[in-house]
């Protein structure tokens, strides 16, 4: 008798667990040249405020005995890395890790014009199996990335492993709006504006249908905090952003 294969979701489609990453990679490889433009259009620029909020919460130091080491996981085109460099006036050392070489290539291109962070490392890596030693980073950040990882628990365990004791994990992710009228407007916006916008700008709405579906399938902040907790993190909290359209999750390796 053959064993049942483990399944998961790619957006609303049920797929074999081992097939999801390939499908996710197709999405980000395809959108990488216009990823930043689409982020601004789809969020009306608000993703910038959420990313600013994440880096303010991290509050990377501007001086100290040695550089503050940050791993920006699923870091894509380097939005979070750039902010961390600016906030720390170049004192932080950020490693951007992402499974998509195309997204990283866009980031490396952008990094040439950054005020700080000339030596930023862009490393192709799977969040489920990180090529870094245990106890390497003072902080791990993940913005809008964890939703795409097939085995979220593995990625959280890996983040825990590579953090130093006393290090912090911050995860920024879409959530579910909980304010009347805002929630209705948001649902309509997701269904009626985002996929057609993707078709107009990218010539294909499929990546943006995946985006909307994957956001809806992601667990709410309380359930996601539970996963962070189970990966070993302490003092796990979440903060709602913009009527809970997004949420910032925090946990410490103590």
Contact 169, 250 (CB under 8 A): yes
Using the rule CB under 6 A, give the single segment among 93-101, 177-185, 186-194, 222-230 that binds ligand SAM: 93-101
Q: In sequence order, what are the beta bridge partners of 173?
A: 247
Q: Quick one: 15 or 179, whose CB is closer to ligand SAM?
A: 15
Q: Which is nearer to ligand SAM, 122 or 233 (CB)?
A: 122
Question: Closest separation between CB of residue 215 and ligand SAM, Å?
Answer: 10
CB of 10 to ligand SAM, least distance (A): 12
Contacts (CB under 6 A) with ligand SAM, residues 29-48: none
Q: With respect to ligand SAM, which residue has the nearer C-beta, 7 or 184?
A: 7
| Smaller CB separation from ligand SAM, 143 or 247 | 143
Return the residue of 10, 11, 28, 209 that touches ligand SAM, per CB under 6 A: 28
- Binder of ligand SAM out of 11, 60, 75, 198 (CB under 6 A): 75
Yes or no: say if 28 and 220 are a contact pair by the CB < 8 Å rule.
Answer: no
Quick one: which of 79, 82, 106, 158 contacts ligand SAM (CB under 6 A)?
Answer: 79
CB of 144 vs ligand SAM, minimal distance in Å: 4
Question: Pattern 99-128, binding to ligand SAM, x per CB under 6 A?
Answer: xx--x----------------------xxx
User: Least separation, in Å, of the C-beta of 130 and ligand SAM?
Assistant: 9
Sign of CA dihedral 61, 64, 67, 69: negative
Instruction: Restricting to residues 126-165, name those near ligand SAM by CB under 6 A.
Output: 126-128, 143-145, 148-149
Bridge partners of 16, per DSSP, are 7
Tell which residue, 196, 186, 161, has the closest CA to residue 241: 186
Euclidean distance between CA atoms 73 and 148, whole angstroms: 12
Tokens matching residue 175: 């959530």
Q: Given the rule CB under 6 A, which residues bind ligand SAM? A: 21, 24, 28, 74-76, 79-80, 98-100, 103, 126-128, 143-145, 148-149
């Amino acid at each position: 008798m053959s064993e049942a294969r483990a399944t998961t979701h790619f957006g609303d489609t049920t797929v074999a667990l081992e097939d999801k990453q390939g499908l996710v990679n197709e999405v980000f490889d395809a959108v990488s040249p216009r990823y930043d433009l689409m982020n601004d259009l789809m969020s009306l620029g608000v993703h910038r405020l959420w990313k600013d909020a994440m880096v303010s919460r991290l509050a990377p130091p501007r001086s100290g005995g040695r550089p503050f080491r940050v791993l920006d996981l699923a870091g894509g085109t380097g939005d979070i890395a750039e902010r961390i460099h600016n906030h720390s006036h170049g004192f932080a050392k950020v490693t951007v890790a992402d499974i998509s070489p195309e997204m990283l290539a866009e980031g490396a291109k952008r990094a040439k014009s950054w005020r700080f962070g000339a030596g930023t490392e862009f490393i192709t890596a799977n969040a489920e199996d990180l090529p870094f030693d245990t106890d390497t980073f003072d902080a791990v950040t993940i913005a809008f990335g964890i939703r795409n990882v097939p085995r979220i628990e593995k990625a959280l365990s890996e983040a825990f492993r590579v953090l130093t004791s006393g290090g912090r994990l911050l995860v920024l992710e879409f959530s579910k709006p909980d304010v009347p009228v805002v929630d209705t407007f948001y649902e309509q916006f997701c269904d009626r504006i985002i996929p057609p916008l993707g078709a107009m700008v990218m010539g294909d709405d499929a990546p943006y249908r995946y985006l909307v579906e994957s956001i809806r399938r992601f667990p709410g902040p309380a359930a996601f905090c539970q996963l962070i907790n189970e990966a070993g993190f302490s003092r796990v909290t979440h903060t709602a952003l913009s009527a809970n359209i997004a949420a910032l999750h925090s946990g410490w390796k103590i």
